[in-house]
Amino acid sequence: MQPSTERRPLRLNRRQLFGALAGFSALPSFVGPQKASSAPFRPNILLILADDLGYSDLGCYGGEIETPNLDRLAQRGVRFTQLYSNARCCPSRAALLTGQHPHAVGMGNMTGGKPHPDYPGYSGQIPESTLFLPHLLREAGYTTLMAGKWHLAEPGPIERGFEEFYGLIHGFDSFWDPSKYRRLPANRPVTPWKEPFFATDAITDHALSFLQSARKTPSKPWFLYLSYTAPHFPLHAPKAQIDKYQPVYEQGWDVIRQKRFDRMRRLGLIDPRWKLPPRSIVGPNRVSDVNGWAAKQNPAWDTLPADRRKDLARRMAIFAAMVENMDQNIGRLVDDLEAASEMDHTLILFSSDNGACAEWDPWGFDVSSGPTNHLHRGPELERMGQPGSYHSYGSGWANASNTPWRLYKHYTHEGGISSPTIVHWPQGLKARPGSLNHQPWHFIDILPTLTALTGARTPPQVAGVNMSAIFQGKKVNRGPMFWEHEGSRAVREGKWKLTAVYPAGEWELYDIEADRTEQVNLASRYPSRVRRMAAMWENWARHNRVIPWIWKPPYGSSPSASAPE
């Protein structure tokens, strides 16, 4: 049953919390280094993944959305500012759970791809022989549990090593329809829910039930992968929470972006040298191309008609309500861990699978009402986010969600691959509570890091790096990192990042330390570095089955016309 959403009061109000976090940020990041692999205990692991959450949406990352439970974990733990995803749902999840680059396991794009012998990196099907994180942890004596979104095709979560599953096998669907969600193994009972059904609540209900059962074997630690579908579209949320945020977003995305940027500076999340970029362009994006928006900039809020502003404010209010609801449910998990005296020895890692979602233009889409950018007026506004509705919030709000980065999900600029990340682990973190860690690392590093911390084996195919030393206050020389999705591509080496949009796009070079908002393209100033890093990327791409696919259809560019510099 879904319990009451009433929460106990926090120790700090929002203003006090921001001040505390900002104060902690000014202190040294870590104290008391220890040997990374010498932990005398094996922690429980709670891996929480949000879906399409923007970098600055959480309160502890500068946002105005009320997220007191995640803020509390950040206040007591560490916020990582440079954990990188793989730009989109399936590739990120493949990297997270296999420790390999997604192309190496066939998930360079999305599930449901059409297998082609020349393009094995884009089959949309991960080989059955690939070992997943739950399999490795189960082998090491962990109870393995999953609630939420799978989105990695067949074989499904049970065959990949989870003992219990409840959630969505595919990528997204109604939050109000219980028929879209599955319980596996099929003969296991479904946890009852309180009407009306709401997916984020039901996912948490099952997670709590799974933990209750796992505790019947106290000698075994547990691993829970809590993969929320929120705040991915369709935008659905309880109406009372939506109404609360409506006046907040009637300020518009320009005001929200600036306020977030200012808060992020106060919290120490961004370097004072960095500037807030102009509003991002809407695309390029294949659907946006059709709608004529590809090269246009998101419009200024004050230039929009009043009825369009009402519609757009409502969309963002629903999104914010979804994030707040997810935070409330995470609070239920935290309360449960505290009641079971498990908080101290549970490693909680929270992140998002990619940046905010711009699909498909400034107005968002609306499947339920017909036209892609249907404008809601009058009574229609009240029905937004309720059963039967089905829409997104568009590129203008995605740009605000990703403050201060450029572009969005799908792309390898910072707005597509930068994920807000919180780690809370009282017995294992040797960091000052509330501190920031600016170490760059990658989703493929999470598997080898967790296997190292738990004593599980790490398969030789794993491409990620064991980063557990960063939890002990040490700097890790991570080495170069690489990306590709839908032709957008990037390589990062130290402070330098080379990135491009789509195969025909020219390489852009940025000094991420001085300019992480990617405003000053240094490619013409350092042509030899561009050539060298482009060659690094191409070598990685050939080794990981990225090439030749991105140089050929469906993008329509010949290899000679679009080959990297």
Show which residues are catalytic. Answer: 89, 151
* Sequence-separated (6 or more) residues with CB below 8 Å from residue 146: 134, 157, 162, 164, 165, 166, 167, 224, 225, 226, 227
Q: Do the Cβ atoms of 103 and 110 come closer than 8 Å?
A: no
Helix (H, G, I), strand (E, B) or coil at 313: helix
Cα(548)–Cα(565) distance, integer angstroms: 15
174 CB-side CA count, 13 A: 15
How far is residue 458 from each of residues 126, 146, 263, measured CA to CA in Å? 18, 21, 40
- Site of tokens 């032709």: 487
3-state secondary structure 317-359: HHHHHHHHHHHHHHHHHHHHHHHCCCCCCEEEEEEECCCCCCC
Cα(488)–Cα(63) distance, integer angstroms: 28
Helix (H, G, I), strand (E, B) or coil at 490: strand
Q: Do the Cβ atoms of 13 and 68 come closer than 8 Å?
A: no
Cα(435)–Cα(92) distance, integer angstroms: 26
DSSP-derived secondary structure for 264-282:
HHHHT-S-TT--PPPPPB-
- Max Cα distance, the chain (Å): 63
DSSP E strands: which ranges in 27-140? 44-50, 78-84
Tell which residue, 119, 199, 210, 121, has the closest CA to residue 167.
199
Cα(327)–Cα(50) distance, integer angstroms: 10
DSSP-derived secondary structure for 129-198:
TPPPHHHHHHHTT-EEEEEEE--S-SS-TTTTT-SEEEEESSS---SS-GGG-EEESTTSPPPP-PSSP-
| The amino acid at 110 | M
Cα(534)–Cα(507) distance, integer angstroms: 8
Cα(159)–Cα(54) distance, integer angstroms: 31
| 342: its two tokens | 């498990």
Q: Do the Cβ atoms of 463 and 480 come closer than 8 Å?
A: no
Q: Do the Cβ atoms of 84 and 442 come closer than 8 Å?
A: yes
How far is residue 28 from each of residues 25, 155, 430, measured CA to CA in Å? 8, 45, 11
Q: Do the Cβ atoms of 516 and 264 come closer than 8 Å?
A: no
